[in-house]
Structure 1
């Protein structure tokens, strides 16, 4: 199974990128995860949506080809970051590559509540008309106090969090069987 991860942070030391890389490595025997970078995605502009830059076309093609999308988002001002909203704007226009594409949402932050508000907003956004993405329910991953759960090399070292992720990924794999059959 092919999954793409869209990480809503472009910060070098991003806990959300660390979480995505952990999932990529730790569950490599269960699915192939490609982490898509948002650094070079230009701001969405309706004037050019029908002749989008190649970087946007490539980004959308990778999402279209994937069986599912893993969204890993920080929380900025109680919502998703602008860079993530911009990527979603591109995905929701013209060929609308997210319609019917299964999604799973996670997030990490230094706060105790993880990324609860951002994930609630993202869930609502993914149900919008131009996206229409079914989201795995009841398996929310809010990695709070992330600065205590990753080591200096970016490895997830909190055993409780790893065990919880094991159960969520197992549920995700079971859920995906219905989409792939």
Structure 2
């Protein structure tokens, strides 16, 4: 069984992105062990001179290191991913590199009709940056619009068409994780290149 870390990409206490991940954790329990990880407790990234990341960021990095893959659920604010998620990714690329060559699935929920398409595109670009180098599952957007009405009182997804798409994408992600394990010839070189990046000049 795969082990996945699911990052709640917001600091909101009442987030439908958290509800979406909680639903996945329950619905796909027979397929994978999904652990939700919060990022709202991280301090503001300040590029510390001692090159030490906060204990909370290191704890997230350790969980990612031990996981087979990462699922990130992002809201969309002003056509982009939220600052709190960018803050977490900055810590996770500052002299630690848990996302390097790690399979990542991006999903998102929003109150409006369009879902989080722009935020997901923005997040893909960031995760593909030289400092992060995650392996993002291609052609896999899951956009949950009208998310306030998307779940019943028990937290179950109401729209069966949306659920069928999510189930298909989740199965594809499991396949993507296994395929990624075979794309390992440049892993060591990638990590060495990232390690050699000098944050002082970025």
- With the shorter chain as reference, the TM-score category is over 0.9
In structure 2, what is the equivalent of residue 32 of structure 1? 33
Within-5 A mapping of 1:116-131: 116-131=117-132
Return 132-141 or 48-57, whichever deviates more.
Answer: 48-57
Relative to the length of structure 2, the TM-score reads 0.85
Structure 1 residue 53, shift from structure 2 partner: 2.3
Structure 1 residue 113, shift from structure 2 partner: 0.7
- The question of 1:75 aligning with 2:67 is answered no
Relative to the length of structure 1, the TM-score reads 0.94
1:8-67 deviation per Cα after TM superposition (whole angstroms, max 9, x unaligned):
122222110000001111111111111111121111121156222221211111112211
Structure 1 residue 132, shift from structure 2 partner: 0.5
Q: Aligned partners of 1:160 and 1:70: how far apart in 2?
A: 21
Within-5 A mapping of 1:65-104: 65-104=66-105
Structure 1 runs (4+) greater than 6 angstroms displaced: none
Contact 1:49 1:94 in 2 (8 A): no
Find the residue that maps to 2:135 and give its secondary structure.
coil
Q: Tell which structure's C-alpha radius of gyration is larger.
A: 2
Q: Tell me, which stretches of 5 or more residues in structure 1 are unaligned?
A: none
Corresponding residue pairs, total? 181
Of structures 1 and 2, the one scoring higher in RCO (CA 8 A, sep 6+) is 1
C-alpha RMSD over aligned residues: 1.4
Q: Aligned partners of 2:48 and 2:72: how far apart in 1?
A: 27
1:129-155 deviation per Cα after TM superposition (whole angstroms, max 9, x unaligned):
011011111121000111221124433
